[in-house]
Amino acid sequence: MEKRQLGNSDIYITPIIMGTWQTGKRMWVGIEDAESIKAIRQAVESGITTIDTAEVYGEGHSEKIVGEALKDVRDKVIYATKVFANHLKYDDVITACHNSLTNLQTDYIDLYQIHWPSGSWNSDIVPIEETMSALNDLKQQGKIRSIGVSNFSREQLAEALEYGEIVSIQPPYSLFWRGVEKNIQPYCMEKNISILAYSSLAQGILTGKFGTNPTFAEGDHRKNNRLFQPSHWEKVQTALTQLQPIAEKYDCTLAQLSIAWLIRQPQTNAIVGARNENQVKGNAKAIEVNLTQEDVIKISDIGYQVTQDLDDNPVMWNFD
């Protein structure tokens, strides 16, 4: 799989990235560690050598599983992890990074990201200058190779850039969730900042597997996703029906079509999770779907039917 430069850094990532939120188990159901390890190994074997995780995914459990799965091929992979909003004071960033290094069984992290801006999820307000100071020190010490942000607005990204080099931003972005295109994407194009899109399949919606009446097991966070609510679900179903003939034209699944479309967008790479080896193999094959520009535009137009009535709230979930 051909790699792409991460911002202006000397790091090269795969356009499809293995996402491991589900590997942490918390807020997901039916996840088994043994299957997660097989899936992560399969990702690397399929050419997906960039792995994204976070300290908050299962309170370090995801990082530990990633570290266990790939400790023997550490030199062949790129690790991206994140420090959560409640650990953005200087000393807390340092401690969190050391914990992540231990969990991942490594002595360096390729991309270390601020998961959410300070103040998110009832966290303390911490000046971005303080957080960036810690990150810059970690970078100087060689414990991290580059700095990224996640869930930042354009304004927050610009402020962070005043205090150091930011190579990437990680927002929710898919064919059915397009807020990033309004002002973050143009800014990233101007500054050559990579976009690492999460929820690339709209939390599974773009696989087409949910049918007309989506249901979730107790503990599955997706029941709170705004796209699954009745006001949007009819639009989702209409769009999926219109996408199906295009997928058939390229002899690919809806998921592969959606990933192929996403990695054709400016600056954009797709983080895609997987529960098992077969899902990983399917995701990796999206790189082989060579869309014409005409079909890229056609797919975009279909997606707008779902997104045009969404508000500007970047948070995908309505948690109580």
Active site residues: 57
Q: Which residue has tokens 């570290």?
A: 67
Six token digits for residue 274: 């997987």
Measure the CA–CA gap between 66 and 51, rounded to whole angstroms. 8
Is the sign of the CA dihedral 283, 266, 19, 216 positive or negative? negative
Measure the CA–CA gap between 93 and 168, rounded to whole angstroms. 18
Q: Give the closest residue to 273 by CA, choosing from 171, 161, 197, 189.
A: 197
Measure the CA–CA gap between 25 and 318, rounded to whole angstroms. 20
The answer to whether the beta carbons of residues 282 and 253 sit under 8 Å apart is yes
- Phi and psi, residue 162, nearest 5°: -70, -20
For residue 281, give the DSSP letter.
H
Longest dimension (CA), the chain: 54
Six token digits for residue 222: 């997706």
For residue 159, give the DSSP letter.
H
Measure the CA–CA gap between 188 and 195, rounded to whole angstroms. 7
Q: Who's near 301: CB < 8 A, 6+ residues apart?
A: none
